[in-house]
Amino acid sequence: MKPFAYVRATTLQEATAAHAGRPGSRYLAGGTNLVDLMKLGVERPATLVDLARLPLSGIEELPDGTLRIGGTARNSDTAAHPLVRARHPVLAQALLAGASAQLRNVATTGGNLLQRTRCPYFQDVSTACNKREPGSGCAARDAVHRDHAVLGHSAHCIATHPSDLAVALVALDADIELYGGQGTRTVPAASFHRLPGEQPEQDTVLQHGEIVTAVLVPPAPGALSLYRKARERASYAFALASVAAVLESGPDGRVVRRVALAFGGLAHRPWRATTAEARLTGAEPTAEAVREAVEAELAQARPLRDNAYKVALARNLACDVLAALARQAQDGPPRTP
Ligand code: SF4
């Protein structure tokens, strides 16, 4: 590993000043992805600015009912928080699907959102990768790419984003709070990650030196939510496809008042299924209506040579998740032992 300087910041101002004043700086939170990438030679920071001492680990309810989850809140603390579990089960489920307990005990909100793709060519410095080295090419396109994107990919990159948390936040209409040289700003979770286009090296709209200080999850009274993920093995692995859904129904549970649907594992960012949502809003969520809506969304898919299976997988997952939520809306949530 290349030698690097280490700065431990205790305030946001200290952290951004240290980052801005040292070329080649990276922020360090849990380090569960960054340190791995440093060992592989993919990341070669001159300085690490450690954010662990910043007062950003709280999880609190704001006066309007918004849940504010700090940027350095541990994923395990967020998944176990009573308000998260009671109000936004999709968020807890996504976090619990995301990694082992050991990793969740260290990984943070901001780090989870900013983790890099697990495309094997990105992690192998001997191969061409536009995300790691802009302009070098994309080794995945003509090689092994069954885990890669079917939606929104470009000639420059076909990678997927690995975060489960991000998918749930998009379905929950959350905002990401950022702090940088210009002060604080918020970005909708749905706009935080980018499609690759011609600049796959940029995963997000984060500006140089900005820190994820919190995520803001708005209240959704009466909404039901669910996360489901398909992966290669039963133990922890990244999503081949995943679905986060939030459903609000009419009084008898038979009409969709509002639905939010997001896919993971299919694109360079969580994929908000706006076409499917528009078709289902105001409709009765019959199996046929749900399938038609999901298929209309996935008609945009452009599978690669080896990953057409993802389209059917995502369709079946989404249909199952929406059917489960529709049943809950009519019968009440399942009892936990
Ligand atoms: Fe790199 Fe993206 Fe191609 Fe993977 S898919 S090799 S991350 S450019």
- What is the reported pLDDT for 107? 97
Of 129, 136, 193, best ligand 1 pocket probe by most atoms within 8 Å of the beta carbon: 129
Of 119, 126, 142, 304, best ligand 1 pocket probe by most atoms within 8 Å of the beta carbon: 119
β-pair type (271-272, 256-264): antiparallel
Q: Which atom of ligand 1 lies nearest, measured to the CA of 127? A: 6
Nearest CA to ligand 1 atom 7: 122
Report d(CA 150, CA 284) in Å as an integer: 29
Rounded to two decimals, what is the model's pTM?
0.96
CB 241 within 8 A of CB 230: yes
Cβ burial, residue 315 (10 Å; 0-12/13-18/19+): buried
- Token pair of 167, please? 């998918």
Of 40, 130, 203, best ligand 1 pocket probe by most atoms within 8 Å of the beta carbon: 130
- What is the reported pLDDT for 337? 46
Which CATH number fits the domain that encloses residue 319? 3.30.390.50
Q: Which atom of ligand 1 lies nearest, measured to the CA of 148? A: 5
Q: Which atom of ligand 1 lies nearest, measured to the CA of 121? A: 6
State the distance from the centre of ligand 1 to the C-alpha of 196, rounded, in angstroms.
10
Residue 65 domain-assigned (yes or no): no
Q: Which of 54, 81, 99 is the last residue of a domain?
A: 54
Query: What is the SS3 assignment for 260?
Result: strand
Across the chain, which has 337 residues, the per-10-residue mean pLDDT values are 92 95 92 96 96 96 98 98 97 94 96 97 98 98 96 98 98 98 95 98 96 98 96 89 97 92 98 98 97 98 97 98 95 64
CB 12 within 8 A of CB 34: no
State the distance from the centre of ligand 1 to the C-alpha of 163, rounded, in angstroms.
17
Q: Where are the beta strands (DSSP E) in 22-144?
A: 25-28, 47-50, 59-61, 67-70
Residue 100 domain-assigned (yes or no): no
Residue 32 domain-assigned (yes or no): yes
Residue 113 domain-assigned (yes or no): no
- What is the reported pLDDT for 84? 98
- What is the reported pLDDT for 4? 95
User: What is the amino acid identity at position 224?
Assistant: L
- What is the reported pLDDT for 253? 82
Q: Which of 20, 39, 54 is the last residue of a domain?
A: 54
Chain mean position to CA 18:
28
> What are the two backbone dihedrals, phi and then psi, of residue 336, each rounded to the nearest 5 degrees?
-95, 140
Cβ burial, residue 304 (10 Å; 0-12/13-18/19+): middle
- What is the helix (H) or strand (E) element at residue 212, kind and residue range? strand 211-217
Residue 319 domain-assigned (yes or no): yes
Report d(CA 250, CA 12) in Å as an integer: 44
State the distance from the centre of ligand 1 to the C-alpha of 314, rounded, in angstroms.
22
State the residue range of the domain holding 49.
Answer: 1-54
Report d(CA 316, CA 311) in Å as an integer: 9
* Residues contacting ligand 1 via CB (< 6 Å): 117, 119, 121-122, 129-131, 138-140, 157-159, 200
Q: Which of 32, 54, 76 is the last residue of a domain?
A: 54
Question: Taking Cα atoms as reference points, which of 8, 215, 31 lies closest to residue 106?
Answer: 31
Residue 174 domain-assigned (yes or no): no
State the distance from the centre of ligand 1 to the C-alpha of 159, rounded, in angstroms.
5
Report d(CA 264, CA 270) in Å as an integer: 5
**Non-local CB neighbours of 86 within 8 Å, separated by 6+ positions:** none
Which CATH number fits the domain that encloses residue 50? 3.30.43.10
Nearest CA to ligand 1 atom 2: 157
State the distance from the centre of ligand 1 to the C-alpha of 120, rounded, in angstroms.
8
- What is the reported pLDDT for 251? 84
Report d(CA 115, CA 21) in Å as an integer: 24
Of 43, 125, 138, 304, best ligand 1 pocket probe by most atoms within 8 Å of the beta carbon: 138
State the distance from the centre of ligand 1 to the C-alpha of 304, rounded, in angstroms.
13
Question: Taking Cα atoms as reference points, which of 71, 15, 73, 10 lies closest to residue 48?
Answer: 15
State the residue for tokens 């993920």: 229
Residue 248 domain-assigned (yes or no): yes
Total number of domains in the chain: 2
Q: Which atom of ligand 1 lies nearest, measured to the CA of 158? A: 5
- 309-331 and 287-298 helices, crossing angle to 10°: 140
Query: What is the SS3 assignment for 324?
Result: helix
Question: Taking Cα atoms as reference points, which of 47, 44, 54, 53 lies closest to residue 19?
Answer: 47
Residue 4 domain-assigned (yes or no): yes
- Token pair of 41, please? 């030679």
